[in-house]
Amino acid sequence: MVVIKPKRKSVAADFMMKPAKGRKKSRENPVSVVSMDNATPDKWLTLTLDEILESGQKLWDPPRRYFRGSGAGNECVRSMTFEAMGHRVPFEARVLRIFGVGKAIESVIVDATKKSKILVKGSDQLEGKIQDPLIICHVDLIVKRPTDGQLFLGEIKSIKLENFKKLPPEHGPTRAGDSPLLKNHAGYVKQWNTYAWTPEVDLQ
């Protein structure tokens, strides 16, 4: 059996890595199966939660024959190629928690649009497609302004406070090429513009 030593310290892992001759069989020296070492007993909760969040992440998925609309702002051909081939990069627990918070925020906003009856029915997670090259998009939502029925495509993003303060002032409708977001968040503008041009959305 081959034991791969994990990045995070573990009493159980250290025991498994230790040569058999160095192990003690006495009952006075039991092995504590806890994801921490004796030097950091105060971090057991963090380590336990991190371990469960990070476990089960795949390194490879089945290859895809399409690109994702959310990656429209990615200018790295190698990155896009590897992703289409199925390669995945595992995320740290800290990043996974951020993703979880972002999904929760999106859920709250979409739920509010449903209750206020401005959400276009069926638009949350609407699938849009561009055929050549094949790009598949998943729309967050489309809302309708009650006063005149004007439709607006929404892409929900969460951002930390420091970067939120650097966002440009709110503004009315503008062409994607003239958006003040292009300066620091060009990828978001390209993503939104890709979604807007899909036949299923058609709000260009």
Residue 41 lies in a domain: no
Which residue is listed with tokens 């929900």?
A: 156
Q: How many CB atoms lie within 10 A of CB 193?
A: 18
Domain span at residue 123 reads 93-196
CA distance 124 to 121: 8
Question: Is the pLDDT reported for residue 153 higher than 60?
Answer: yes
Please write the tens of the pLDDT for every residue from 79-112.
988 998 999 999 999 999 999 999 999 999 999 9
The per-residue pLDDT for 41 is 66
Residue 83 lies in a domain: no
Residue 184 lies in a domain: yes
141: part of which helix (H) or strand (E)? strand 141-144
Please write the tens of the pLDDT for every residue from 9-57.
544 445 445 554 554 444 444 433 344 455 566 788 999 999 999 998 9
The per-residue pLDDT for 18 is 53
**Nearest alpha-carbon partner for 99 in 62, 70, 126:** 70
- Measured over the CA atoms of residue 100, residue 171, residue 187 and residue 134, the dihedral's sign is positive
Residue 67 lies in a domain: no
Pairing of strands 141-144, 135-138: unpaired
136: part of which helix (H) or strand (E)? strand 135-138
Output Rg (C-alpha) for the chain, integer angstroms.
24
Number of domains in the chain: 1
pTM (two decimals): 0.72
- Measured over the CA atoms of residue 63, residue 67, residue 69 and residue 73, the dihedral's sign is positive
**Beta bridge partners of residue 130, listed in sequence order:** 135
Residue 51 lies in a domain: no
Residue 3 pLDDT class (50, 70, 90 cuts): very low
Residue 191 lies in a domain: yes
CA distance 129 to 198: 6
Residue 25 lies in a domain: no
How large a percentage of the chain has pLDDT more than 70? 79
The per-residue pLDDT for 204 is 56
Residue 131 lies in a domain: yes
Please write the tens of the pLDDT for every residue from 111-134.
999 999 999 999 999 999 999 889
Q: How many CB atoms lie within 10 A of CB 115?
A: 9
Q: Which DSSP state fits 153? A: E
